[in-house]
């Protein structure tokens, strides 16, 4: 039997399906069609709004949520065999495998597709209810001697977001407000344990020191009610900075998680301070 060329790809085939080869027909008639690419997601707990309600995967199982997304946001011709998820800032990507056929003359087969959805952020009903409660703790984050720039703030908030996702199925409270200040961040929470946890997570990530203070704000059932403040001071000195400390001019050589190494411009000797000593000393930043 003479073969005929496909007008799209040029390959020689035994037959054409509606003027194209089988492979070109499959490529131009996908089994998965996206009806809506936007997804509403809770910015606190990660729940997705589907079918008129907020949906969360059991124990953080995004595969279960992915199947719900594919079921509601796409049209499938065939049987959904697999839905694997990968996430990044602002979007979710689902690798889908569907078994089916786009045409009666084509044998059913398993075909893979990559489907992308964009997140739009809101607050789910559960988080909104929790956020309406009065905050009981403050996480105060500052940079010394320089304030926190936008890159620093973004990194801090990304770490906090990852921690919140870990606790989305636990009742540990929520962030009720974030204030962006020139030199840092003020983060208000509905639970003092959450504020404390976030403070020490960040403390392990950055050279810093923590101070905890408690203020009595009332009495409930005969017991004092406290408002906790966790002050986190992050080191924003840089290697190469020249400082005056204890009357001596020194250059910062290296900054580690626990210590900072300094070089004395006057004596040519090296010494080191703990991060706590550095932050609690009277230091004048001269320059670089």
Taking 70 as the threshold, does the pLDDT of residue 89 lie above it?
Answer: no
User: How distant is the alpha carbon of residue 73 from its chain centre?
Assistant: 24
What does the pLDDT average to over 63-70? 84
pLDDT grade, residue 225 (50/70/90)? low
Centre a 10 Å sphere on the Cβ of residue 133 and count the other Cβ atoms it contains. Answer: 12
Taking 70 as the threshold, does the pLDDT of residue 60 lie above it?
Answer: no
CA geometry: angle 32, 103, 64, nearest 5 deg:
25
Residue 58: the pLDDT is 72
> 2 Cβ partners below 8 Å, 6+ apart?
none
Residue 175: the pLDDT is 83
CA geometry: angle 278, 245, 287, nearest 5 deg:
95
CA geometry: angle 109, 112, 114, nearest 5 deg:
155
C-alpha closest to that of 28 among 142, 111, 152: 111
pLDDT grade, residue 46 (50/70/90)? confident
Taking 90 as the threshold, does the pLDDT of residue 220 lie above it?
Answer: no
Taking 90 as the threshold, does the pLDDT of residue 32 lie above it?
Answer: yes
Taking 80 as the threshold, does the pLDDT of residue 95 lie above it?
Answer: yes
Per the CB < 8 A criterion, the answer to whether 64 and 140 are in contact is no
CA-to-CA distance for 153 and 210, rounded, in angstroms? 18
pLDDT digit string, tens, across residues 249-287: 999 999 988 899 999 988 889 999 899 888 888 888 887
pLDDT grade, residue 16 (50/70/90)? very high
The total number of residues shown for the chain amounts to: 288
Taking 70 as the threshold, does the pLDDT of residue 196 lie above it?
Answer: yes
> 255 Cβ partners below 8 Å, 6+ apart?
207, 235, 237, 238, 239, 261
Residue 2: the pLDDT is 61
Residue 45: the pLDDT is 80
pLDDT digit string, tens, across residues 127-180: 776 665 556 789 999 999 999 999 999 999 999 988 888 876 676 778 888 899
Percentages of the chain per state (helix, strand, coil), in multiples of 5: 25, 45, 30
Taking the alpha carbons of 286, 234, 151, 230 in that order, is the dihedral positive or negative? Answer: negative
pLDDT digit string, tens, across residues 205-214: 999 999 999 8
Can you give the pTM of this predicted structure? 0.55
Per the CB < 8 A criterion, the answer to whether 174 and 130 are in contact is yes
pLDDT digit string, tens, across residues 96-119: 999 999 999 999 999 999 999 998
Domain edges within the chain: 17-123, 133-235, 242-287
C-alpha closest to that of 50 among 27, 79, 28, 72: 72
What phi and psi values does residue 56 have, to the nearest 5 degrees?
-125, 140
The token pair that represents 125 in the structure block: 């009903």
């Amino acid at each position: 039997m003479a073969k005929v060329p496909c007008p799209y790809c040029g390959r020689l085939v035994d037959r054409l399906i509606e003027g194209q080869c089988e492979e070109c027909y499959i490529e131009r008639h996908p089994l998965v069609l996206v009806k809506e690419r936007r997804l509403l997601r809770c910015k606190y707990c990660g729940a997705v709004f589907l079918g008129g309600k907020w949906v969360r995967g059991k124990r953080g199982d995004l595969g279960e949520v992915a199947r719900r997304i594919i079921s509601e946001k796409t049209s499938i011709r065939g049987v959904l065999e697999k839905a694997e998820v990968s996430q990044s800032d602002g979007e979710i990507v689902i690798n889908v495998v569907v078994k089916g056929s786009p045409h009666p003359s084509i044998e059913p087969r398993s075909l893979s597709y990559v489907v992308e959805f964009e997140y739009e952020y809101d607050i789910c009903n559960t988080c909104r209810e929790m956020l309406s409660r009065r905050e009981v703790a403050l996480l105060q984050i500052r940079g010394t001697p320089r304030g926190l720039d936008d890159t620093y703030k973004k990194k801090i908030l990304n770490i906090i977001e990852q921690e919140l996702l870990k606790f989305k199925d636990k009742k540990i409270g929520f962030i009720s407000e974030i204030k962006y200040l020139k030199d840092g961040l003020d983060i208000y929470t509905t639970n003092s344990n959450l504020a404390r946890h976030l403070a020490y997570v960040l403390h392990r990530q950055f050279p810093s020191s923590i101070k905890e203070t408690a203020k009595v704000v009332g009495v409930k059932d005969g017991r004092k009610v406290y408002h906790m403040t966790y002050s986190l001071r992050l080191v924003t000195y840089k290697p190469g900075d020249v400082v005056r400390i204890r009357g001596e001019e020194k250059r910062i050589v290296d900054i580690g998680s626990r210590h900072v190494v300094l070089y004395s411009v006057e004596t040519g000797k090296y010494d080191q301070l703990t991060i706590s000593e550095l932050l609690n000393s009277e230091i004048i930043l001269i320059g670089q």
